[in-house]
Amino acid sequence: MQYTYELFLKELGARLKQMRKERGWTLRTMVVEHKFHATHWQSFESGKAISVPSLLRACEAFDVPLEDLVRGLGRFGTPETQSDQESSVTAPTPAKRSDRSKQTARGKKRD
């Protein structure tokens, strides 16, 4: 199974927005009742980075376990997830690395 951070954030943002709208909550609800800063919440919903404390606060606001909130997000390249992705978002292709650099996704040299 393969994951991509960018796809994870994009899908998480879409899920957060969907959950908020399903509950009939506005951006103001997230600010006033759940104590998120408006621009932070908007950035989360648009697929920008979210800190772990903010992610946990979102779980508390929606009253869902973390594992349920993030289940299935950011996966690509497996038969069971490709059909889901084609209907929602297009997975980015992994960047090619030259054989000379042999770097991992974290920028460290492999042995």
- Determine the Cα–Cα distance for residues 34 and 36; give it in Å rounded to an integer: 6
Taking the C-alpha atoms of residue 91 and residue 5, their distance in angstroms, rounded to an integer, is 11
Identity of the amino acid at 11: E
Tokens encoding 55 = 């992610």
Is 49's pLDDT higher than 80?
yes
- Which band of pLDDT confidence, cut at 50, 70 and 90, is reported for residue 78? low
Instruction: Judge if pTM exceeds 0.75.
Output: no
| Rounded Cα gap, residues 25 and 102, in angstroms | 47
